[in-house]
């Protein structure tokens, strides 16, 4: 299969991932059919061999010196390190092997080195952040002064636009270490232990001598061939055999997409495959947009979105919008959260009673509580995933319906849930905004729509038509419900839902600041990081002219009205029904005929049988 993706004008390659499931396999040498349980067992044996080698690599290189050497991008001779993690580790001489007596091929060692190299590279950013926070430790860790905030942001790489919640989270982590050990940590490797090793196979680090993936003749099917051990401790290469596994491709994978070797994971006794593929999508642009969708976050109303158009003369008009309400799902999410908190409290109490006594009578109950906590956490995770998918799909559909070429979302990463009461703070901190934005970027990229984050400052406070400060009060349709849902402008007279005003402000701000859009080199995400006063002055919504006639003066004779109108219960009589005894009783002016007295056909029931007259039953 060719690995080159043909591209047309205005297209760009995009790599995405879809989930698959390996239900069965066939051992090529013997022709034996492997059921799902046997296939999961053999994949698990290979994953255990890889996990052991990854743990050995991390145990020897989980320190600041090794992470800095790997992140420097050069070896001892000054040559640049390869982009593949396993190749970089081999260039540095960081080798690993299985336990004594176990025989694996070199491709299995590659998988282990790739997993360890990715983990070490990912630790570099956390190490730099922790070092910067330690170097600029504030006098009061709970509340930094403005000068202390400037110092820590200057020390962190890219700290100017880093959310304050990230710095505060790292500060709390260091504070917990100080409280436990009575001293400051040296670096992040004292604060964090080596991460746990996942049981998975990164087949992307292999070549055709270990695994292959080809499309089958039937559309939507593929065939994965890979070598798996026949025993948990293979002693020779003869204990490794080729297994062919048919894969059903998800419908989201285009037929013209280039398939890549997947990552295999063991989940509840089954083999899950993360199928990576590359396909062509329309190229997104940073500037030159005339129609954009503005998205505002809410609490009960999770999303409020609407489109705005930028005209040639620089004016901006609103095209209408809607709201994505998820109050029922959010209520269920909060119930699960409270249930999880209660289980954690009870499990902690049991743990304190048990202490180190493994034979304690509460040990069995503590295990049951731990399993229930995992179950509730899984339900919360699945609910958040479903909510994120639904919200992102709704926002992208709104953009497609309005003909928008990009979506502007307010950036609330730095929002802190405090000062609003215990319940409100918890609800704000449990929102799934980050997941929704990630899903939104994924879905929008399929249709060439860009997703750009904009600063959220004063989007709900200022009027979308004149930028004056709004007054907020209870909604007129819900006078008994407390809140500040309705917004009024004392300058221009605009009034409406505060979320509707917010998405208008977001869309107008994004359209006027298109030239300020920047693209992150690491993630490819687009963002408008700063707002200028000159451009903000033009980010106003021009009200649409009224189409109704305001002049009510008489321009002609008065229309004649009948003195005998039709009955109020029905303005127009129903048409005359069929002559037969079918249907319901006619309405309006049609007379009701009595066929029994008129000598006509007898009445019948709904199933067509003659109805018995009253008094004829035995």
- Over the chain (618 residues), the average pLDDT of each successive run of 10 is 72 90 93 93 94 93 93 89 93 90 92 94 93 92 89 87 85 92 91 88 91 90 94 92 94 90 92 93 89 87 91 91 87 89 92 84 90 92 91 94 93 62 57 85 91 89 90 80 80 88 93 91 86 89 73 75 62 54 50 46 51 45
Q: Residue 475's pLDDT is what?
A: 78
The answer to whether 413 and 163 are in contact (CB under 8 A) is yes
The DSSP element (H or E) to which 131 belongs, if any, is: helix 106-135
Say how far apart CA 527 and CA 473 lie, in whole Å. Answer: 32
Burial of 428 (0-12, 13-18, 19+ CB in 10 A): middle
CA angle 129, 135, 137 (to 5 degrees): 95
Distance of alpha carbon 292 from alpha carbon 399, whole angstroms: 8
pLDDT in tens, 567-590: 555 555 555 555 555 555 554 444
CB atoms within 10 A of CB 208: 10
Angle between helices 146-155 and 164-181 (to 10 degrees): 90
Dump strand ranges (E) for 260-326: 263-267, 270-282, 291-297, 301-310, 316-325
Average pLDDT, the chain: 85
CB 422 within 8 A of CB 487: no
Say which residue the tokens 């107008």 belong to. 508
Beta strands in 456-575 (DSSP E): 471-473, 486-488, 495-497, 517-519, 526-528
* Closest of 183, 47, 53 to residue 119, by C-alpha: 53
Distance CA 271, CA 203 (A): 14
Instruction: Provide the whole-model pTM.
Output: 0.77
Q: Is 469 exposed, middle or buried (0-12, 13-18, 19+ CB in 10 A)?
A: exposed
The reported pLDDT for the residue numbered 339 is 92
Residue 181: count of CB within 10 angstroms of its CB:
10
């Amino acid at each position: 299969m060719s690995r080159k993706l043909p591209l047309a004008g205005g297209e760009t390659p995009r790599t995405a991932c879809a989930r698959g499931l390996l239900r069965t396999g066939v051992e090529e040498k013997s022709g034996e059919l492997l059921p799902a349980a046997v296939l999961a067992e053999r994949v698990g044996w290979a994953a255990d061999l890889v996990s052991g080698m990854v743990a050995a690599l991390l145990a020897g290189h989980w320190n600041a010196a090794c992470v800095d050497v790997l992140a420097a991008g050069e070896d001892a001779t000054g040559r640049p390190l390869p982009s593949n993690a396993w190749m970089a580790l081999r260039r540095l001489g960081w080798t690993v092997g299985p336990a004594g007596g176990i025989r694996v091929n070199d491709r299995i060692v590659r998988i282990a080195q790739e997993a360890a190299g990715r983990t070490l590279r990912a630790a570099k950013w956390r190490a730099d952040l922790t070092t910067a926070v330690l170097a600029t430790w504030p006098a009061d860790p709970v509340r930094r002064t403005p000068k202390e905030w400037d110092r820590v942001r200057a020390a962190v790489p890219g700290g100017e636009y880093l959310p304050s919640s990230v710095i505060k989270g790292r500060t709390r982590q260091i504070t917990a270490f100080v409280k436990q050990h009575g001293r400051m940590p040296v670096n992040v490797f004292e604060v964090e232990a080596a991460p746990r090793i996942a049981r998975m196979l990164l087949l992307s680090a292999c070549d055709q001598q270990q695994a292959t993936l080809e499309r089958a003749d039937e559309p939507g099917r593929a065939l994965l061939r890979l070598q798996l051990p026949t025993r948990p401790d293979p002693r020779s290469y003869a204990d490794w055999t080729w297994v062919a596994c048919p894969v059903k491709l998800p419908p989201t994978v285009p037929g013209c997409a280039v398939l890549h070797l997947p990552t295999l994971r063991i989940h509840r006794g089954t083999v899950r495959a993360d199928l990576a593929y590359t396909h062509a999508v329309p190229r997104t642009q940073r500037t030159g947009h005339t129609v954009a969708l503005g998205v505002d976050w809410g609490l009960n109303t999770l999303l409020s979105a609407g489109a705005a158009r930028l005209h040639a003369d620089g004016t901006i008009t609103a095209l209408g919008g809607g709201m994505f309400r998820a109050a029922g799902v959010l209520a269920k999410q909060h119930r699960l959260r409270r249930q999880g908190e209660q289980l954690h409290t009870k499990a902690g109490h049991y743990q304190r009673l048990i202490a180190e006594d493994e034979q304690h009578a509460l040990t069995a109950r503590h295990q049951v509580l731990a399993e229930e906590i995992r179950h509730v956490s899984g339900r919360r995770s699945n609910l958040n995933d479903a909510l994120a998918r639904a919200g992102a799909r709704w926002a992208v559909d709104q953009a497609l319906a309005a003909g928008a070429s990009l979506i502007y979302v307010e950036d609330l990463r730095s929002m802190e849930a405090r000062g609003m009461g215990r319940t409100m703070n918890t609800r704000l901190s449990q929102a799934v905004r980050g997941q929704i934005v990630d899903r939104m970027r994924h879905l929008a990229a399929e249709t060439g729509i860009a997703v750009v984050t904009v600063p959220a400052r004063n989007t709900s406070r200022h009027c979308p038509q004149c930028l004056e400060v709004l007054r907020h009060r209870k909604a007129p349709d819900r006078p008994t419900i407390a809140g500040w849902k309705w917004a009024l402008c004392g300058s221009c007279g605009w009034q409406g839902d505060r979320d509707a005003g917010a998405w208008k402000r977001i869309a107008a701000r994004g359209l006027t600041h298109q030239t300020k859009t920047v693209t992150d080199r690491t993630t490819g995400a687009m963002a408008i990081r700063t707002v200028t006063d000159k451009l903000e002055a033009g980010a106003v919504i021009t009200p649409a002219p009224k189409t109704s006639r305001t002049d009510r003066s008489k321009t002609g004779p008065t229309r004649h009205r009948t003195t005998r109108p039709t009955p109020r219960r029905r303005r127009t009589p129903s048409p005359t029904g069929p002559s037969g005894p079918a249907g319901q009783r006619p309405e309006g002016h049609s007379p009701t005929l009595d066929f029994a007295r008129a000598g006509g056909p007898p009445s019948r029931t709904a199933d067509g049988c003659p109805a018995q007259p009253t008094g004829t039953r035995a």
